[in-house]
Structure 1
Amino acid sequence: MLNDRLKGKNVVITGASSGIGAKMAFLCAKSGANVIILARSWDKLQNLKQEIETDHQVTVRAYKLDVSNIDEIQKVFAEIIADVHHVDVLVNNAGFGIFDTVEEAKLDDAKAMFETNVIGLIGCTKMVLPNMKARRQGHIINVASIAGKIATPKSSVYSASKHAVLGFTNALRMEVADEGIFVTSVNPGPIETNFFNIADQSGSYVKNVQKFILSSDQVAAAVVKRMLSRTREINLPRWMNLGDVFFTLFPSTFERLGKKAIFKK
């Protein structure tokens, strides 16, 4: 799957060392983009860089970044701008979740989720916006979650962080609507990645929703296909978005009738 719009464009992907971030990096390189990968795991980044360069005969730039650290964001993105001069596409993909009831949830975990999923995402966005505005072009893609639309038990803090991402994304889209900048939210259901190694250490949730789990290849392909296009949202799987519509229109009925389905964790 190729996206000819990406040829020669600079694409920055956070949380790129594994999962859909890594898969997007491969697809962007295959489409002729200049790929810039960021993550905390330096060894994994270096291995990914080598694999992509070997497969596609391109030069990949890798930077170590913990998006929960604002100082690091400012330093690393200043280096990126100095190296490549501008960013055409920013994919805010870094994020994590922990599934706990409100009573069991640790405040340190809640703080860490918001620092990574929300504050870090905002910080990365702020670093590329001025240049995109000056050039009157660019695309910001924020990986949220269906959990940002439909909250479920034991995902209270994670859902809250993704609600925040969606609110930020929707407001940003309106702010830059006349600046030539596209803003897209990605709202997938459960994905077969390392995410659940942290979020669901018991393994019960993954077992219960196994038949609904998306492949990372499927999600990555859907995102890369729409890069540099005016796409408001990418909702996967599509049928799950119907649940969001029903939840929005009939929340009480959804919670009553869907009780068995949403108590999967």
Structure 2
Amino acid sequence: MKNVNLENKITVITGASSGIGAEIAIEVAKKQSTVVLIARNIEKLQQVQARIKQVADVDVILIAADMSQPHMIDQVYSKMKSKLGHFDYLVNAAGFGNFDPFFEMSMTTAHEMFDLNVLGLMYFTRLIGRDMMEAESGKIINLGSVAGKIPTPKAAAYSATKAAVIQFSNVLRLELAPFNVQVMTVNPGPVATNFFDIADKDGHYVENVGSFMLKPDELAQKVVSHFEDSKKDLTLPFSLNIASKFYLLFPSIGDYIIMKWGDKK
């Protein structure tokens, strides 16, 4: 894995209180980056801060906010801007999922998923991205999902949010290229985090996909290893990356395979 040095850099991470966001925070801190941790739960953020202090001597800024609420996003940005002035990396990791069949799930839940997974991400990216454009440097890392590339039953709304994140990132990459600002999407398969406490309440999905399950710390290491290069898409594990390319080329065959063997929820 490449040696990355983030000394004197500032990394902003949403969804930083647990899971992938927390592990990326720890990894960039090891690389000597100042870290801004954003999530709703300040106590959990403090726990991540304590973990960081065990492995690195860097500045850690905690901000408690609901990143689905535009007025809170404005407050977060203003607080960071006045304190730090600029931003080198933005990791949009805040989000949640629900694996209920679409016709049974609450539309309130669908709205909440889009507000956080998509609209909040877009709103915050708009604020940070303008600063990066002005500085003509920076990188935005958006957490998509294999679910945004390969359809599976019981994930219609969640998959739609992640497909939106992926396509938003693809277009954003083109718009920001003239300003020397890079965009990368990270599209993991199932990751062993508390994401499934909400998404998979009965535990069937986690039980069935054990062979594909990624470890969050290892995923974080791979993500951070690409901070300084021009990687555009990181889809893991390798087997699901290949599967996503196969589905794009042969969707009819892909649908057949998914309906016969791929529904693990």
Aligned to 1:233: 233
**How far did residue 54 of structure 1 move?**
3.9
Looking at structure 2, the residues matched to 84 and 2 of structure 1 have their Cα atoms a distance apart, in angstroms, of: 28
Structure 1: state its 5+ residue gaps.
none
Taking the TM superposition and a 5 Å limit, the aligned residue runs for 1:134-145 are 134-145=134-145
Tell me the residue number matched to 1:91: 91
Counterpart for residue 219 of structure 1: 219
Tell me, in whole angstroms, the C-alpha distance in 1 between the residues paired with 2:81 and 2:231: 25
Task: Using the TM superposition, name which of 230-239 and 185-194 deviates more.
Answer: 230-239
Matched, 1:244 2:263: no
Q: Give the structure-2-normalised TM-score.
A: 0.97
Deviation at 1:234, TM superposition (A): 0.5
Unaligned 5+ residue runs, structure 2? Answer: none
Aligned residue identity for 1:242: I
Q: What do the CA deviations read for 1:123-176 (whole angstroms, capped 9, x no partner)?
A: 110111121111100000000000000111000000001111011100100001
Q: 1:79 to 1:42 in 2, by over 3 A?
A: same
Segments of 4+ in structure 1 off by > 3 A? 1-5
Q: Give the 3-state SS of the residue equivalent to 1:122 in structure 2.
A: helix
Whether the aligned pair in 1 keeps the contact of 2:97 and 2:199 (CA below 8 Å) is yes
Aligned-partner Cα distance in 2 for 1:116–1:228: 27
TM-score (norm 1): 0.97
* Residue equivalent to 2:260: 260
Aligned equivalent of 1:182: 182
Asked if structure 1 preserves the Cα contact closer than 8 Å seen for 2:4 and 2:228, the reply is no
Query: What is the CA distance between 1:107 and its match in structure 2?
Result: 0.3
Residue number in structure 1 paired with 2:56? 56
Amino acid at match of 1:120: G
Looking at structure 1, the residues matched to 88 and 111 of structure 2 have their Cα atoms a distance apart, in angstroms, of 31
Partner residue, 1:127: 127
User: What is the alpha-carbon distance in structure 2 between the residues aligned to residue 3 and residue 133 of structure 1?
Assistant: 26
Q: Which amino acid aligns with 1:87?
A: F
Matched with 2:111 is: 111
Give the distance between the partners of 1:231 and 1:170, measured in 2 at CA: 12
Residue 87 of structure 1 and its aligned partner are, at CA, apart by 0.7
Provide the rounded CA distance (Å) in 2 between the counterparts of 1:21 and 1:131. Answer: 22
- Report the counterpart of residue 46 of structure 1 in structure 2: 46
Sort the Cα spacing of 1:3 and 1:121 in 2 relative to 1 into closer, same or farther, 3 A. farther
Aligned to 1:6: 6
Identity within the alignment, %: 42
Cα deviation code 1:211-265 (max 9, x no counterpart):
2111101211111111132111011001211111111111111111332332110
The separation in 1 between residues aligned to 2:152 and 2:8, in whole angstroms, is 42
Distance in structure 1 (CA, Å) of the matches to 2:25 and 2:73: 20
Could you say what secondary structure the match of 1:201 adopts?
coil
Q: CA deviation at 1:51?
A: 2.7
Q: Cα 1:26–1:2, aligned 2, differ >3 Å: closer, same or farther?
A: farther
Tell me how far 1:2 sits from its aligned partner: 7.3
Contact 1:2 1:27 in 2 (8 A): no
1:59 CA drift (Å) = 1.9
